[in-house]
């Protein structure tokens, strides 16, 4: 009898909890926001699924303020923020209380294993502590010769491209070249391995396998919608269901991979190991391709490969795109490089040091301004791990016109942090970054003492930019990325002049997981940046 009463009470308690959870008052629901045009995809239709990354979040911010309501999948409400204090709270102050949403974590675990990008809380803090020394200033010094050596190789390869014509200049698509050099650099810096991608990716089976890994990521993202549907079902039934989701995603991803990816197919087809979870299958196929690092560090290597390659490659490509349109800045930067080189040789140094690179304010301003206008990840999502209250720098009105200076958030509700909007915010007709926030104007980082925003809040890892994210999960590779970008840009700018290609080629910010250039109207659907290179 006692057991029955206990069971009954526990059931009632659980039912009430589930009901309370579902019918709790949500302040986010009361906020204004743009109309939802797709019940299934919500505003991810605009944010992710169109070919081009648009300024929609910025336009929405101008209409509704720097914190407003968006819709996620299946009508789910999300809080979209570009407010400095709100972002600082979610990513820095209360960082571990805002973990990545479950389905993002599952995808990352399947592709990368249980690594820094997918784990949360104390596990994450531990991984971060272990990895931090690898990204310290003193370790980074050791990478500079790698950056330089690969950049020289890139210059030689590009000279071959230019020499294909007798005019001393040629139109070259820079995207594949930057993708190759960043792969070679990540291989050399993190595993002392030469992918030889600059020598032609087709020559290296392992480089191919890693490119396939990127495809895995894209394919896995494609099936994510089905998983989200399933997640919603389980959620409505009051189950978290992460285990079920894991096997569902693994099954579906494997099915897509088997039909889509030849190397994986070759490894899976006659093999009983098909029953392994996806992460092990991937580990297996990289192992079979003789990856020269221990199984334990595969996760780390895959993480760096995915987090550090296309991101840095795209950042260099966007910088060259802007420089190709701004000759005066190419000139200024070349003069600065020449001056810094002559100072180094007066000191008796044959090569530039990290301190020399740090001192190059013009080039650094060019890089920062490009990272501001082209945040390679245009947004990220988080989910409140507990009930919380997000403070705002700029109060926003709710649907009844009441001004809110903080937004209470329920456990489980999602937050979308818009980097594209934050990096250019304008609020109450006051421009936080300056009236010309939409323009590429590196001077803004040189004026005053490089104080770039009128916001009172410091966030981000470089110059108040959100591009490398911020706080406990901010990009661990930001210094590595800046140094790598700078080393490549120096070699390229010393050897070539960059100008737009002939004709009316319009470049758009392609939505390919990261923000990468695409030619408007091109049917190829691939990322590309044709630029005229002239040998100097």
Structure tokens at 302: 């895959």
Residue 389 annotated as part of some ligand binding site = no
Structure-token pair, residue 191: 């595993």
Question: Which one, of 310, 284, 312, lies nearest residue 298 by Cα?
Answer: 284
Q: Which is nearer to ligand HEM, 484 or 491 (CB)?
A: 484
- Decide whether 396 or 462 has the Cβ nearer to ligand HEM: 462
Q: Which is nearer to ligand HEM, 286 or 311 (CB)?
A: 311
Residue nearest to ligand HEM (CB): 477
3-state secondary structure 304-326: HHHHHHHHHHHHHHHHHHHHHHC
User: Do 478 and 469 touch, CB atoms closer than 8 A?
Assistant: no
CB of 304 to ligand HEM, least distance (A): 4
**Shortest Cβ distance from residue 480 to ligand HEM (Å)?**
5
Please count the helices (runs of H) and the strands (runs of E) in the chain: 18, 13
User: Minimum distance from CB of 311 to ligand HEM (Å)?
Assistant: 3
What CA–CA distance (Å, rounded) separates 292 from 304? Answer: 15
Q: Nearest approach, Cβ of 130 to ligand HEM (angstroms)?
A: 11
Nearest 5°: CA angle at 224, between 388 and 73? 50
Considering the complex, state which of residue 267 and residue 514 has its C-beta at the smaller distance from ligand HEM.
514
Taking the alpha carbons at both ends of the chain, their separation in whole angstroms is 91
Residue 184: CB minimum distance to ligand HEM, A? 13
Nearer to ligand HEM, 33 or 477 (CB): 477
DSSP assignments along 379-436, one per residue: EEEEE-SS-EEEEEEEEEE-TTS-EEEEEEE-TT-EEEEEHHHHTT-EETTEESS-TT
Nearest distance from residue 136's CB to ligand HEM, in Å?
13
Contact 341, 359 (CB under 8 A): no
Decide whether 104 or 261 has the Cβ nearer to ligand HEM.
104
Min dist CB 326 to ligand HEM, Å, is 20
Instruction: Decide whether 308 or 501 has the Cβ nearer to ligand HEM.
Output: 308
Interacting residues toward ligand HEM by CB under 6 A: 116-117, 128, 303-304, 307-308, 311-312, 315, 376-377, 380, 467-469, 473, 475-477, 480-481
Residues with Cβ within 8 Å of residue 360, at least 6 apart in sequence: 333, 336, 337, 340, 486
Burial of 157 (C-beta count, 10 Å sphere; 0-12/13-18/19+): middle
* Residues in binding site for heme: 475
């Amino acid at each position: 009898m006692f057991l029955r009463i206990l069971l009954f009470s526990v059931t009632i308690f659980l039912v009430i909890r589930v009901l309370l959870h579902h019918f709790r008052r949500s302040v986010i629901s009361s906020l204004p926001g743009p109309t939802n045009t797709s019940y299934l995809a919500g505003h991810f239709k605009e944010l992710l699924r169109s070919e081009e990354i648009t300024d929609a979040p910025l336009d929405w911010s101008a209409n509704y303020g720097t914190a407003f309501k968006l819709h996620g999948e299946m009508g789910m409400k999300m809080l979209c923020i570009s407010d400095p204090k709100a972002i600082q709270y979610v990513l820095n102050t209360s960082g571990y209380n805002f973990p990545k949403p479950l389905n993002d974590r599952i995808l990352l675990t399947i592709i990368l294993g249980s690594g820094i990008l997918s784990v949360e809380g104390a596990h994450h803090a531990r991984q971060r502590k272990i990895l931090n020394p690898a990204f310290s200033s003193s370790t980074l010094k050791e990478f500079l010769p790698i950056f330089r050596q690969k950049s020289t190789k890139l210059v030689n390869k590009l000279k071959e491209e230019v020499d294909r014509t007798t005019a001393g200049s040629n139109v070259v698509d820079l995207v594949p070249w930057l993708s190759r050099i960043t792969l070679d650099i990540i291989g050399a810096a993190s595993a002392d391995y030469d992918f030889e991608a600059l020598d032609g990716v087709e020559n290296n089976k392992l480089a191919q396998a890693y490119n396939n890994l990127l495809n895995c990521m894209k394919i896995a993202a494609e099936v994510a919608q089905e998983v989200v549907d399933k997640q919603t079902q389980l959620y409505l039934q009051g189950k978290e269901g992460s285990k079920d989701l894991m096997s569902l995603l693994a099954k579906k991803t494997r099915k897509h991979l088997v039909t889509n990816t030849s190397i994986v197919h070759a490894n899976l087809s006659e093999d009983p190991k098909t029953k392994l979870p996806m992460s092990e299958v991937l580990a297996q196929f990289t192992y079979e391709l003789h990856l020269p690092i221990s199984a334990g560090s595969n996760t780390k290597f895959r993480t760096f490969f995915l987090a550090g390659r296309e991101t840095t490659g795209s950042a260099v490509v966007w910088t060259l795109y802007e420089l190709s349109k701004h000759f005066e800045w190419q000139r200024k930067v070349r003069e600065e490089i020449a001056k810094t080189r002559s100072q180094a040789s007066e000191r008796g140094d044959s090569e530039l040091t990290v301190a020399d690179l740090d001192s190059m304010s013009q080039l650094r301003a060019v890089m920062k301004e490009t990272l501001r206008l082209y945040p390679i990840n245009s947004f990220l999502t988080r989910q409140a791990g507990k009930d919380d209250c997000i403070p705002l720098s700029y109060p926003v009105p709710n649907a009844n016109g009441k001004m809110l200076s903080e937004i209470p958030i329920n456990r489980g509700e999602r937050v979308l942090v818009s980097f594209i909007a934050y990096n250019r915010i304008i609020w109450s007709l006051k421009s936080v970054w300056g009236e010309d926030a939409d323009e590429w104007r590196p001077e803004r980082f040189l004026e005053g003492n490089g104080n770039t925003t009128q916001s009172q809040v410091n966030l981000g890892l470089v110059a108040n930019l959100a591009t490398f994210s911020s706080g406990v999960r901010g990009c661990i590779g930001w210094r590595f990325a800046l140094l790598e970008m700078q080393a490549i840009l120096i070699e390229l700018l010393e050897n070539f002049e960059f100008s737009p290609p002939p004709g009316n080629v319009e470049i758009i910010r392609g939505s390919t997981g990261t923000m990468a250039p695409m030619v408007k109207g091109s049917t190829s659907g691939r990322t590309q940046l044709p630029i005229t290179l002239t040998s100097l």
